[in-house]
Amino acid sequence: MARRKVAYRKQRQNRFSMFLVSIVVLLVLVAVSVRSMELQEKLDTYTAKEEQLSQQIAAEEVRSVEIEEYRKYTQTKKFAEEYAKEKLGLVYKDEILFKQED
């Protein structure tokens, strides 16, 4: 009978130990799941930011090409003539200007 009590007590302790281990495993699983969701949200945020930055890079590359084209255009004779006519009011010697009265 004493052996039965000892065996019963050990069996009860084993069940309690398994219950505690199960609870700990469950808590770890919950913690990992919560952290995983947080990391997924961060990943989504970073992915959106990466896409936005990629679009900005593409826009700046287009702008860079436009600036380079404008730089080349400003070094031409045509640009100098247009600038002299529009901004400075200069004309060629044999050119006649007609001004519109307001």
Per-residue pLDDT reduced to its tens digit, 57-88: 999 999 999 999 999 999 999 999 888 888 88
Distance (Å) of CA 85 to CA 37, 70, 75, 88: 65, 19, 16, 6
Average pLDDT (12-37) is 94
User: What is the pLDDT at residue 99?
Assistant: 75
DSSP letter, residue 76:
S
State the pLDDT at residue 6: 60
Burial degree of 85 (CB within 10 A; 0-12, 13-18, 19+): middle
